[in-house]
């Protein structure tokens, strides 16, 4: 499958919908943008936009996060990303808020179970997947009065009624997902054409072109992720 649209045969089996060349080569279809499933009969040839798969370890933690809405919001806002994305909350991450890595399978000493279960998708993308780690302790302890919320001045970019944990989480995710875009598509924002952001960023965000691009990406895409997340939470 390519990053662009592709022709598929869509058919259903009870409540599940699949796409593929035939019944033997079928893949479960989780999300089709702009298509009403109720209007689809048994066989249709349609055009579907390819969506990367998003995986998480949220089932291991009791967090007030709608996993399905989180996945769909990322697929909605980052349609150009191709490789699978694995988001994990980890209390071992102490040195930073979030971390992105994109390595081949043989780099990892231990591959997460959910990645092994979707290994075919990883193999389609040069044996690589995006690993995004969120510090679990920092996420649990975040408050509206937290130094991070005040220091990052997130109130400039998000609505007052947005939940503070959602603002924090999706701003972090947008930052790390911008690093994922750097790997696949190159940097999007440079200091020359985006001078107005320079005065809004801290020294670390200005320390390198990659970090500048990632934080400007968080400023732009973070609020979009939050709005998309709330939209899917309501469905």
pLDDT class of 23 with cuts at 50, 70, 90? very low
Residue 177 confidence (pLDDT): 98
Per residue, the 3-state secondary structure of 175-190, as one string, reads HHHHHHHHHHHCCCCC
Mean pLDDT of 89-100: 96
207 or 8, which is more confident: 207
Q: Where are the domains of the chain?
A: 5-49, 54-233
Least confident of 40-49, 102-111, 194-203: 40-49
What three-state secondary structure class fits 38?
helix
Residue 10 confidence (pLDDT): 41
- Helices and strands: H and E segment counts in the chain: 7, 8
pLDDT(47) > 80: no
Q: What residues form DSSP beta bridges with 26?
A: 20
pLDDT(149) > 70: yes
With tokens 């937290």, the residue in question is: 146
Residue 50 confidence (pLDDT): 62
Alpha-carbon distance of 167 to 159, in angstroms, equals: 9
- Alpha helices (H) in the chain, listed in sequence order: 67-77, 113-116, 119-123, 136-141, 147-151, 164-185, 209-233
Alpha-carbon distance of 23 to 11, in angstroms, equals: 9
Mean pLDDT of 223-234: 98
pLDDT(117) > 70: yes
């Amino acid at each position: 499958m390519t990053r662009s649209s592709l022709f598929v045969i869509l058919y259903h089996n009870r409540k599940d919908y699949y796409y593929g060349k035939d019944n033997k080569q079928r893949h479960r279809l989780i999300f089709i943008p702009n298509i009403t499933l109720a209007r689809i009969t048994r066989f249709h040839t349609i055009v579907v936009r390819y969506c990367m798969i998003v995986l998480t370890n949220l089932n291991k933690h009791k967090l007030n996060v709608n996993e399905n809405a989180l996945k769909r919001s990322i697929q909605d806002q980052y349609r150009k990303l191709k490789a699978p994305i694995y988001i994990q909350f980890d209390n071992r991450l102490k040195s930073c808020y979030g971390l992105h890595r994109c390595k081949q399978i043989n780099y990892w000493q231990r591959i997460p179970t959910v990645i092994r279960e979707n290994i075919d998708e990883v193999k389609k993308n040069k044996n690589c997947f995006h690993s995004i780690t969120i510090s679990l302790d920092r996420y649990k302890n975040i408050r509206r009065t937290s130094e991070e919320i005040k220091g990052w001045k997130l109130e400039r970019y998000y609505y007052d009624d947005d939940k503070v944990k959602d603002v924090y989480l999706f701003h972090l995710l947008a930052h790390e997902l911008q690093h994922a875009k750097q790997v696949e598509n190159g940097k999007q924002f440079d200091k020359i054409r985006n001078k107005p952001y320079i005065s809004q960023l801290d020294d670390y965000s200005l320390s390198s072109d990659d970090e500048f691009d990632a934080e400007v990406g968080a400023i732009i895409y973070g609020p979009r992720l939050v709005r998309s997340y709330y939209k899917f939470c309501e469905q």
